[in-house]
Structure 1
Amino acid sequence: MVKIRLFCAAGMSTSLLVNKMKEAAGRKGIEVDIEAFPEGQMDKHLDGLDVALLGPQVGYTIGKAKKVCEPKGIPVDVIPMVDYGMMNGEKVLDFALKMVSR
C-alpha cells in the first residue's frame, strides 16, 4: 500500500484529482491510500506517509514543506502544473510512484 497525500489551498479541485489518481491505481492494480488536505495541515498528516505532493497553487511553500518532510524521509515535490490543470490522475500517480522509488 502506497500512502500519498496531496496538499493544496482549499482542496476542491485536488479532491477531484485524488479520485482520478485512485481510478488510475485501480486500473494498474496498485493499492493506494490517497487523500487531500489544506497545505497548512501538512504536519498533522505525515505519519506513515510515502510521498507528499503540493498543488501548484501552493508550490511556493516547497521550502517549508521540505523542512517538515525531509527529516522524516518523506519525498515532497510540486505536482506539474500541466498534469494538475488537466486533472491527469495517471500522470500524477506515476509522478508520485517515481518519487517513492528514488
Structure 2
Amino acid sequence: MKKILIACNAGISTSMLVRDMRVVAQNKGVTCDIDAKDVGEAKRHLDQVDLLILSPQVRHEESIIHSLKPELPVYVMEMKDYGALNSSKILENAMNLLDD
C-alpha cells in the first residue's frame, strides 16, 4: 500500500482535504494511506512515506525536503486546488507521480 503524507502549517483545511481524499480513493478503488502532519513533523517521517504532498503555504520547503531525501517524490499542490479542496484532482496528480 502506498503511503501519502501531506505537509502543511497544521490547518483545518488540510484535515478536511485528507478526509475527502480518503473518500475519493475508496470510491475509485485506490488503495493508499493518506495522512497529514505539520511540515516539521513531516520531515521526521520522510522514510515512512512514498510521496510527500506540500500545501501551497509550505511550498518553500520543497528544496529542503529534496536535500533530506532526494529520491522521495514531492508534489506541491496548486493554490486553486487546495483552496477548492479539489481532492479528486490532488489525488489524481499524486497517483500519477507514484505510477512513474
* Alignment of 1:87 onto 2:85: yes
Structure 2 counterpart of 1:26: 26
CA distance in 1, matches of 2:88, 2:20: 7
- After the TM superposition, which parts of structure 1 deviate over 3 Å for at least 4 consecutive aligned residues? none
- 1:1-102 to 2 correspondence within 5 Å? 1-70=1-70, 73-102=71-100
Query: 1 CA distance for matches of 2:38 and 2:46?
Result: 13
- Percent identical residues: 38
Gaps of 5+ in 2: none
Question: TM-score with structure 2 length normalisation?
Answer: 0.92
Which structure 1 segments of 5+ residues have no match?
none
TM score, norm. by length of structure 1: 0.90
SS of the counterpart of 2:48? coil
Q: Could you say what the CA RMSD is over the residues aligned between the two structures, in angstroms?
A: 1.2
The structural deviation recorded for 1:47 is 2.9
